Amino acid sequence: MNPKIKGILAALGSALGYSLVYIFAKFAQRELPTEPFLFWWFLMASLWSSIIVVSRKEGFKNLLNFIKKHPLFFLYFGFSEAFATFLFFYLVKLLNPSFISFIVNLQPLFVIFWGYLILSEKLNLYEGTGAAVAIAGTAILTHAEADVSGLHLFLLLLMVGIFSLNTVIVRMKVRGIPPIYITVFRVYVLFTLYAGMVFLSRRFQFPTTFSFLNIMLGSLFGPVLATTLVFLALKYLKAANVSIIKSVQPFMVLLLSYTLLGQGLRPSQILGGVLIIIGINILILGNRASIKKALKG
């Protein structure tokens, strides 16, 4: 098969895998509070990730050595990722997954923003235009969503800001370690922190069969398969191209939410979402080098 076709299929597969996370998490949290849900989700993700650990032992030795050299950084990374991930799943439980998926797609905009603050990178005309279009789309999308309060929007943007900041910092700090190792390390750390949280709060709860099935499938498709596919796509395509292809993800979530959850978006909301996607793609095309540096696997 042509390498570019492989890359495109891997990127689309990754987008579908991450889209399914919204649906499985929504179903599972209908019968399970967020705290025990996170415990079981990342317990299963840890088990799936063990397959990668067994197959790539040498790489993880390098990661452990790096962690020993920079314990404070990884302490920050673990707790900040746990906080942002809690916000993500809690908001998925409360709000329309389609709305959240469009806001999450703003991450490249935040990466550019953090690059401007941390690395003193200047915005070019394309980036400025893309940012303006994406912000306008966000305003339209949010204004048309009656169930979203100012607090919800703040928490969503805080979550995206944390994830994008960590993306930039990890790529700056961690040299010579493939991102797949960081991903697996993140899964283990989140499981450890959520296990501590659920037992200290005494909110441990066994999932129902239905919830456990959704957790098992969601933790496989998201943290493991979708992440593996995006790194596979980066072997064949430029990072900017992968980001552009994966921008179909919110529309996949929209279709899945409407079909499986009965939750759609009004035409004005879809217009806002389309503007976000257009703006982000303009931004990515305007500075391929910055996005590649921040998101390269």
With 80 as the cut, is the pLDDT of residue 132 above it?
A: no
Q: What pLDDT, on a 0 to 100 scale, did the predictor assign at position 155?
A: 92
pLDDT band for 296, please (50, 70, 90 cuts): very low
Query: What is the rounded average pLDDT of the residues 215-239?
Result: 81
Q: Cα–chain-centroid distance for residue 227?
A: 10
The CA distance from 53 to 249, in Å, is: 28
Looking at mean pLDDT, say which of 69-83, 84-98, 124-138, 171-185 comes out highest. Answer: 84-98
Q: Which residues contact 200 (CB under 8 A, 6 or more apart)?
A: none
**Count of CB atoms within 10 A of residue 160's CB?**
22
What are 31-43's pLDDT values in tens digits? Answer: 899 999 999 999 9
What CA dihedral angle connects 83, 88, 91 and 95, to 10 degrees?
A: 170
pLDDT band for 230, please (50, 70, 90 cuts): confident
Query: What is the rounded average pLDDT of the residues 72-88?
Result: 88
Query: What is the rounded average pLDDT of the residues 153-160?
Result: 90
Q: What pLDDT, on a 0 to 100 scale, did the predictor assign at position 210?
A: 92
With 70 as the cut, is the pLDDT of residue 56 above it?
A: no
What pTM does this model have? Answer: 0.80
Tell which wins on pLDDT, 198 or 246.
198
Q: What angle do CA 208, 219, 261 make, to 5 degrees?
A: 65
- Cβ atoms of 122 and 257 within 8 Å: the answer is no
Q: Which residues contact 40 (CB under 8 A, 6 or more apart)?
A: 32, 207, 211, 212, 215
**Count of CB atoms within 10 A of residue 122's CB?**
10
Three-state DSSP state, 95: coil
What are 82-130's pLDDT values in tens digits? Answer: 999 999 999 999 888 888 888 888 877 777 777 667 666 566 666 677 7
With 60 as the cut, is the pLDDT of residue 291 above it?
A: no
Domain residue limits at 214? 3-295
Q: What pLDDT, on a 0 to 100 scale, did the predictor assign at position 39?
A: 94
Number of domains in the chain: 1
